[in-house]
Each structure stands twice: as C-alpha cells, then as structure tokens.
C-alpha cells in the first residue's frame, strides 16, 4: 500500500496514543494550561476544537491521501475523529493524574483544559502516524 493511499487501521490508534502522549504530557502539567482552562471562553474553546479538526483533516488529506478528498472522505473522517478522540482521552488521563481534571465538580473547566492540551498533542499524534 502506498503512503498516499493509506487505509485507516486499528494499528494507527496505537500511533495516535504514542504521538499524543509526546506533547500532551509536557503541556498538561503546566500551570498556564490549568489557569487558561478556567479563563478561556466557550467561544474560544469551540474555535480551538474547530481549528484543530480543520488542520488535522487538511494534513491527513494532503499527507495520506494525496489531496484526494472526494475518494477518501470516510477514511479521512475516521482518521481525524479517531486521532482527536484518542488525544482527548490521553489529555484527560494525564490531567487526571495531576488532579487537574475536575470533571465532576467543574466539567466546563475540565473540558477546556482537555481541549487546550489536545491542540498540540493531536498534531503530534498525526505526525507520528505519518512517519513510516
């Protein structure tokens, strides 16, 4: 299978985990992220999610599918959603290890922190996946 027509496989999920941990850990343990999670507006949080998904889709389309969006829509969608969801889970786990993921007491703060950490970590996960 050529690099330009890569099919989404379960093996890719393990690469997403490794790649996301590479950046999620150092970002998640910073006090700046913890404070920003309390201060960030809902609009800004949604903008970060939207931009992350857009750039992940753009990178996947050009790196894995040779800019052929129409023939690989489902695979691109699966890859982008999978990498982002895996990265959100990794971010939540790491934040939780440091007691900085107050999902039950302050769910909005927990989600914002998770999204902030996922921004760079999801890109790292995608880059690690592309290294073959």
Domain membership flag for residue 3: no
122, 84 contact by CB (below 8 A): yes
Domain membership flag for residue 71: yes
Does residue 18 have a pLDDT over 60? yes
Domain membership flag for residue 110: yes
Domain membership flag for residue 85: yes
Domain membership flag for residue 88: yes
Looking at the structure of the chain, the number of domains it has is 1
Tell me the pTM.
0.87
Tens digits of residue pLDDT in 78-108: 889 999 999 999 999 999 999 999 999 999 9
Alpha helix segments (H runs only) across 40-130: 42-64, 73-97, 107-130
Sign of CA dihedral 3, 70, 127, 96: negative
Residues spanned by the domain of 31 = 9-130
Domain membership flag for residue 117: yes
Domain membership flag for residue 1: no
Domain membership flag for residue 13: yes
């Amino acid at each position: 299978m050529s690099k330009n027509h890569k099919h989404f496989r379960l093996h890719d999920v393990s690469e997403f985990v490794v790649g996301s941990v590479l950046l999620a850990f150092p970002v998640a343990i910073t006090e700046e992220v913890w404070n920003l999670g309390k201060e960030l507006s809902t609009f800004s949080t949604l903008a970060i999610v939207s931009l992350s998904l857009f750039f992940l889709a753009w990178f996947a389309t050009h790196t894995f599918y040779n800019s052929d969006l129409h023939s690989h829509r489902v695979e691109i969608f699966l890859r982008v959603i999978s990498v982002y969801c895996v990265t959100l889970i990794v971010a939540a786990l790491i934040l939780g290890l440091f007691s900085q993921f107050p999902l039950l007491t302050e769910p909005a703060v927990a989600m914002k922190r998770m999204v902030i950490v996922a921004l760079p970590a999801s890109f790292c996960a995608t880059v690690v996946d592309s290294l073959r």
